[in-house]
């Protein structure tokens, strides 16, 4: 369970609103653990990246905002170099990504809750949408998938559920009152997976995020229009 929390923390921190955590244990591929005397400039140079990319990937307030022991992402979250490369031709049936990194046709989602929209996707601070409702309202899986994480070990998300889908997608469901499925469970689209609550926040709501190959995308781009 502890290693699961570390992995999910890194996934959320790479694209979310909280900085990369300070952890112990092995350093995952694509990350670097800050040592005494390190600077972000030196880390970026040694890994062939720019300081601005490291700041963005790790959601740092400023380049000096690093601590000894902190894990920093040093490769692009989607595994693609930020250096200029020839434009690749999209493979048949592969997700097509537009200029804002939003897949235009690769997955079919349903709304995870039926309440009114409280707030919209507004990066870099707001990485998902908020859906209102009453405590105990049903929350359903937006698509078929496997439960990657179920728990309250990720700061700022309350009781959280993360579901892994096909084609590089994951969906996150935060601030739940109760989780109805466990880690490793296979779920079907529209299956009830949680009830709405306000754990880790000050109002009853569902905070819903969608990621494609590690990058947050606007949920409205892959949800049906209401």
- 125 in the same domain as 55: no
Binning pLDDT at 50, 70 and 90, where does residue 203 land? very high
Tens of pLDDT, residues 101-127: 445 447 899 999 999 999 999 988 899
Is omega for the bond preceding 124 within 30 degrees of 0, making it cis? yes
Q: Are 193 and 113 in contact (CB under 8 A)?
A: no
89 has a pLDDT exceeding 60: no
Number of Cβ within 10 Å of residue 56's Cβ equals 16
In a domain, residue 211? The reply is yes
Q: Give pLDDT, residue 8.
A: 57
Cα–Cα dist 188/169, whole Å: 15
- 128 in the same domain as 65: no
19 has a pLDDT exceeding 50: no
- 126 in the same domain as 66: no
Q: Give pLDDT, residue 176.
A: 98
Cα–Cα dist 128/28, whole Å: 26
Q: Which of 48, 73, 98 is the last residue of a domain?
A: 73
214 has a pLDDT exceeding 90: no
């Amino acid at each position: 369970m502890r290693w699961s929390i570390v992995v999910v923390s890194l996934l959320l921190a790479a694209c979310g609103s909280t900085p990369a955590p300070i952890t112990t244990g092995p350093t995952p591929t694509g990350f670097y653990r800050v040592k005494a005397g390190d600077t972000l400039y030196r880390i970026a140079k040694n890994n062939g990246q720019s300081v601005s990319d490291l700041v963005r990937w790790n959601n740092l307030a400023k380049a000096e905002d690093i601590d000894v022991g902190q894990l920093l992402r040093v490769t692009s979250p989607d595994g693609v170099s930020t250096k200029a490369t020839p434009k690749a031709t999209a493979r048949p049936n592969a997700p097509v990504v537009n200029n804002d990194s939003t897949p235009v046709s690769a997955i079919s989602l349903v709304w995870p809750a039926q309440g009114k929209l409280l707030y919209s996707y507004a990066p870099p601070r707001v990485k998902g949408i908020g859906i209102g409702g009453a405590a105990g309202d049903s929350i359903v899986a937006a698509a078929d998938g496997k439960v990657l994480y179920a728990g309250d070990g990720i700061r700022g998300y309350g009781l959280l559920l993360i579901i892994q889908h096909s084609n590089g997608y994951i969906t996150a469901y935060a601030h739940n009152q109760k989780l109805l499925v466990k880690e490793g469970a296979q779920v079907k689209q529209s299956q009830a997976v949680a009830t709405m609550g306000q754990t880790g926040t000050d109002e009853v709501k569902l905070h819903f995020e969608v990621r494609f190959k590690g990058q947050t995308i606007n949920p409205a781009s892959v949800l049906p229009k209401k």
